[in-house]
């Protein structure tokens, strides 16, 4: 292992669940204080198996979304913060191009645990709290440097304490290597390389005969336009907030100051805007963040956990991630599995705070099983919510499947397909990932959208994901009483056609069909119209 410089990765991402208290679950020392009631976001639990949660009395709007013209909001005690980057404490495995921070342990405690008590758990270490997520009662504690195994032992020891819900390493990963986060678009649709069409044309002059409009029945669905849209967000690589066809807002003034217009993020945001015209779309540039070390090509997980928590706490209902990792080798997937496992705990904890949301992730364009795309797609029954030590500490050992379901109900994985073949079948894009983890398929070929200064066509799962994300935002706006699990089922239930995996060379047992997203049918189902 070699110590290298840190910058910021994008491991996105992951998240958290619904409330009450159960036998065997560690309870706060102050029973008189109220707990958060179960929300419609999660599948109701049995009366005999309620969930324990961190107490949540802090204000619900810790993170203020700001438009490019707004002034920076005042920093409050409820603001999520991440510890400063110390290059000498970033330990990277050059072969796997990932690693960890050797002097940071992250803990999530009960609501009545003070900082002084936490620091007392590290005698003789001159420990200090250097970052925190207040509503989750998460602290990032600087301690004496340890190797990975020692940090893992420490995390397990901390979770044996009644005061601790969860403890984990702060992982660090490469942003450029084999496992690196990648924007998941094919560079341009074939035959359109470099062709920026209608660069200066006003919005009303753009064509209305887009093939994907017809597939999802977009124009017909717009006859049922919601009076008000729920909040939706895009995590990507930068955005053109001056584009006349976009209504964008940054999650924070700090984010705005770091972000710059980029083709990929602007294109993805524009797809959501076409489905949700006039809606304000919150954007977050995950490629640039505070404390980034320009010399390095690495990022810490706490930054990307913060991105997720910030958005969820700002009441974003749908968050689009057109990104992921290429993990072709078994030797390199373990770290991504660990990272996604950590995300799953945060997803579950957020849902315990009464937050309901859906994370939409592109499946990837590497022709691999979607499981190898990192982020949320790496989760399965074996690693969701971590090890048995974690299950016991969280109090979910006796109802693990139900707790895991709360996590999976918040994740939608999208693959991409092309226009119909001469045989009348919709085929997957050849490069699109595939597999049992896929939720739904959407158009991903020659998708026209906004880019800095104009419009262009791009293709890939990066384009199919925001079609579904925009559709989910549209549906949730029609009926705000729906839950994430209900919406996910509606996507599948209202599909009227399928896309075929026709890629030659794919093993026969891997070639399956996938339900095609149909916005109009989903709208009618939600409104009980026909």
Question: Beta 2-3 vs 513-515: how paired, if at all?
Answer: unpaired
**Separation of alpha carbons 378 and 269, rounded Å:** 25
pLDDT at 73 over 60: no
User: By C-alpha distance, which of 428, 393, 407 is closest to 488?
Assistant: 407
Chain centre to alpha carbon of residue 270: 19
Where is average pLDDT lowest: 74-78, 327-331, 382-386? 74-78
For the segment 36-70, what is each residue's pLDDT rounded down to a tens digit? Answer: 333 333 333 333 333 444 444 443 444 556 555 44
Q: Which of 192-196, 215-219, 518-522 has the lowest mean pLDDT?
A: 192-196
Q: Identify the DSSP state of 135.
A: G
Report pLDDT for 261: 92
Query: Is residue 406's pLDDT more than 50?
Result: yes
pLDDT, greater one: 418 or 67: 418
- Mean pLDDT over 193-218 rounds to 59
Q: Pick 392 or 24 by higher pLDDT.
A: 392
| Position 325 confidence tier, pLDDT thresholds 50, 70, 90 | confident
CA distances in angstroms from 304 to 40, 143, 164, 235, 342, listed in the order given: 26, 21, 22, 10, 11
* Position 187 pLDDT exceeds 50: no
Contact between 461 and 430 (Cβ < 8 Å): no
Which top CATH class is 1-189+215-530? alpha beta
What's residue 250's pLDDT? 93
Residue 525: the pLDDT is: 97
SS3 content of the chain, % helix, strand, coil (to 5): 30, 20, 50
**Planar angle of CA 275, 347, 138, nearest 5 degrees:** 130
Q: Is the pLDDT of residue 14 over 50?
A: no
pLDDT score of 458 more than 70: yes
Q: Select, from the ranges 45-49, 96-100, 302-306, the one with the highest average predicted confidence (pLDDT).
A: 302-306
pLDDT of residue 209: 59
Q: What is the helix (H) or strand (E) element at residue 119, kind and residue range? A: helix 115-120
Residues 416/441, Cβ–Cβ less than 8 Å: yes
CA 95 from chain center: how many Å? 27
Query: Which helix H or strand E contains 213, and what residues bound it?
Result: helix 211-216
pLDDT at residue number 57 = 40
**280: confidence class by pLDDT, cuts 50, 70, 90:** very high
pLDDT of 203 strictly over 80 = no
Residues 6 or more apart whose CB falls under 8 angstroms from that of 58 comprise 78, 134, 135
Helices assigned H by DSSP within 413-510: 461-478, 484-493
Residues 6+ apart with CB under 8 A from 32: none
What 127-131 contacts at long range (C-beta under 8 Å, 24+ apart), as own/partner pairs, is: 130/83, 130/84, 130/104, 131/81, 131/82, 131/83, 131/302
Query: Among candidates 283, 278, 303, 286, which has minimal Cα distance to 233?
Result: 283
Separation between Cα atoms, residue 306 and residue 313, nearest integer Å? 10
pLDDT at 310 over 50: yes
Reported as a single tens digit per residue, the pLDDT across 120-172 is 999 999 999 999 999 999 999 999 999 999 999 999 999 999 999 999 999 98
Phi, psi at residue 430, to the nearest 5°? -55, -40
Instruction: Please name the residue that has the structure tokens 């044309």.
Output: 201
What average pLDDT does this structure show over 278-289? Answer: 89
Burial class (CB in 10 A: 0-12, 13-18, 19+), 514: buried
The torsion angles phi and psi of 271, rounded to 5 degrees, stand at -70, -45
Q: 189-193, 204-208, 345-349, 425-429: lowest mean pLDDT where?
A: 189-193
pLDDT reported for residue 478: 98
The predicted structure's pLDDT at residue 504? 81
CB 450 within 8 A of CB 281: no
Q: What is the mean pLDDT of residues 331-348?
A: 92
d(C-alpha 294, C-alpha 396), whole Å: 41
The average confidence (pLDDT) of the chain is 81
Q: What is the pLDDT of residues 425-456, one digit of tens each?
A: 999 998 899 999 999 999 999 999 999 989 99
pTM confidence score: 0.83
Task: Please say if the pLDDT value at position 358 is more than 90.
Answer: yes
């Amino acid at each position: 292992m070699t110590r290298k410089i840190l910058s910021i990765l994008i491991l996105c991402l992951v998240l958290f669940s619904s409330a009450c208290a159960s036998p065997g679950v560690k309870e706060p020392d102050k029973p008189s204080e109220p707990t958060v009631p179960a929300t419609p976001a999660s599948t109701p639990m049995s009366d005999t198996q309620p969930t324990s949660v961190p107490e949540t009395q802090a204000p619900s709007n810790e993170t203020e979304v700001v438009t490019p013209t707004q002034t920076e909001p005042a920093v409050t005690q409820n603001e999520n913060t991440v510890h400063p980057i110390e290059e000498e404490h970033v330990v990277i495995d050059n072969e796997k191009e990932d690693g960890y921070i050797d002097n940071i342990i992250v803990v999530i405690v009960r609501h009545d645990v003070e900082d002084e008590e936490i620091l007392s758990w590290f005698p003789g270490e001159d420990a200090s709290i250097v970052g925190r997520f207040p509503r989750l009662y998460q602290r990032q504690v600087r301690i004496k440097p340890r190797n990975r195994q020692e940090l893992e032992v420490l995390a397990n020891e901390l979770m044996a304490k009644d005061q601790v819900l969860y403890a984990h390493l702060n992982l660090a990963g490469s942003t450029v290597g084999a496992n690196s986060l990648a924007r998941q678009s094919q560079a341009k649709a074939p035959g359109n390389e470099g062709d920026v069409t209608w660069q200066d044309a006003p919005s009303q002059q753009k064509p209305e005969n887009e093939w994907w409009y017809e597939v999802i029945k977009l124009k017909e669905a717009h006859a049922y336009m919601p009076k008000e849209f729920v909040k939706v967000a895009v995590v990507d690589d930068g955005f053109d907030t001056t584009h006349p066809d976009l209504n964008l807002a940054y999650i924070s003034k700090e984010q705005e100051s770091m972000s710059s217009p980029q083709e990929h993020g602007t294109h993805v945001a524009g797809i959501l805007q076409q489905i949700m015209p006039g809606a304000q779309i919150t954007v977050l540039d995950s490629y640039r963040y505070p404390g980034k070390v320009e010399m390095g090509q690495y990022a810490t997980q706490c930054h990307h956990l913060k991105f997720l928590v910030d958005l969820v706490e700002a009441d974003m209902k749908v968050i689009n991630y057109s990104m992921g990792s290429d993990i072709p080798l078994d030797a390199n997937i373990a770290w991504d599995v660990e990272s996604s496992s950590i995300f799953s705990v945060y997803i579950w904890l957020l849902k315990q705070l009464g937050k309901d949301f859906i994370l939409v992730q592109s499946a990837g364009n590497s022709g691999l099983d979607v499981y190898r795309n990192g982020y949320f797609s790496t989760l399965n029954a074996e690693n969701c919510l971590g090890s048995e030590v974690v299950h016991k500490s969280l109090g979910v050992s006796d109802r693990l499947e139900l707790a895991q379901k709360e996590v999976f109900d918040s994740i939608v994985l999208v693959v991409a397909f092309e226009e119909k073949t001469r045989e009348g079948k919709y085929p997957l894009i050849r490069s699109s990932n595939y597999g049992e983890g896929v939720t739904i398929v959407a158009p991903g070929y020659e998708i026209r959208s906004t880019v800095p200064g104009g419009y262009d066509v791009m293709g890939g799962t990066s384009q199919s994901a925001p079609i579904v994300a925009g559709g989910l935002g549209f549906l949730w706006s029609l009926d705000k009483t729906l839950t994430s699990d209900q919406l996910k089922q509606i996507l599948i239930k209202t599909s009227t056609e399928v896309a075929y995996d026709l890629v030659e060379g794919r093993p026969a047992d891997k070639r399956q069909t996938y339900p095609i997203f149909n916005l109009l049918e989903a709208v009618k189902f939600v409104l009980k119209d026909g």
